[in-house]
Amino acid sequence: MKVFITGATGYIGGSIAEMLVAAGHSVTGLVRADEKALLLKARGIAPILGTMDDNAILTESAQAADAVIHTASADHPASVVALVTALERSGKTLIHTTGSAIVADHADGEYATKTPLTEDSYFEPVPFRRARVDMNRYIRQAAMEKGVRSIVICPTMVYGTGRGLQADSDQIPKLTALSRQIGAGVYFGKGLSYYSNVHIDDLVDLYLLAMEKAPGGSFFFAENGHSSFKDLAGLISNHLGFGGKTVSLPVEQVIQQYGEYARLGAASNSYVKAVNARRLGWSPKAPSLADWIKSLPCV
């Protein structure tokens, strides 16, 4: 199968691309820079130079492929419209990547949500994430209205070493860097909020399974556990050699330093259960977040 991937040099997209190549698929990847194009080519991925704003390139690349996996951005409407339009009435597969910040709240570390949301649960997104929720809905509706086998996958906090050009995920490395700077594991507010998580290898398995089996219009959370940010701070502290020492910072600090996105990613509840993925046959096998961090060399 020929698969076109946006974000092929990124953490998630690069990991998917590597596994697709290993499985014998022909993979093309959108890339912005010549030097990274050469690195992709060396890994058996055919580079396509362009950006998410290049409508003609997205259209041509999508139409030349049997399936498209969009991982470059969860918040770029123009690229989504271009890909859906390119595949209209083709019956081809389009897998879009969103993120579980769509269900995040403004707990700011002060409390934990006790019951996880499933794919069928009703939730009201915070204003900052309403546009992302609307875009996910547009993609799923393309299965019914535009003849595209469209699927949305919603990763939670992803951990583990990436298989492609980008080895590091987003949230945990940033919390680790801040903790190293402070000299203790860092959390915000009381650190009570729950965030679900998933290992990158298990996440990639879900993409490949969805590409093979998922019906159009599907939505999948990807999770295999959860942790409070205070507990995560303790794990990071031990990893850094701080003996489990943790410290609370005001949530205003993370907003000031990194913006509203970081507020949702470091102090909110994003507690979900991947019911649909397990119904599809997804069976996570990688180490838990705690076991993975404990296995890292102390630095």
Q: What is the per-residue pLDDT across 107-131, written as a single tens digit (0 to 9) for each?
A: 999 999 999 999 999 999 999 999 9
Average pLDDT score over residue span 29-55: 97
Per-residue pLDDT of 55-110, as tens digits, reads: 999 999 999 999 999 999 999 999 999 999 999 999 999 999 999 999 999 999 99
Per-residue pLDDT, 283: 98
Measured CA to CA, the distance from residue 282 to residue 294 in angstroms comes to 25
Q: What is the pTM of this model?
A: 0.97
Average pLDDT score over residue span 169-186: 95
Per-residue pLDDT of 225-267, as tens digits, reads: 999 999 999 999 999 999 999 999 999 888 887 788 789 999 9
Domains belonging to the chain, first-starting first, are 2-163+197-224+271-288 (3.40.50.720)
Average pLDDT score over residue span 174-178: 94
Measured CA to CA, the distance from residue 149 to residue 283 in angstroms comes to 23
Average pLDDT score over residue span 145-164: 98
Mean per-residue pLDDT over the chain, rounded: 96
Per-residue pLDDT, 254: 80
Largest Cα–Cα separation, the chain: 58
Q: Which helix (H) or strand (E) holds 77?
A: helix 77-87
Give the pair of three-digit tokens for residue 243. 């003996």
Tokens 């296995």 correspond to 295
Per-residue pLDDT, 259: 81
Average pLDDT score over residue span 184-196: 97
Percent above pLDDT 90 for the chain:
95
Assess contact for 241 and 299: CB atoms under 8 A.
yes
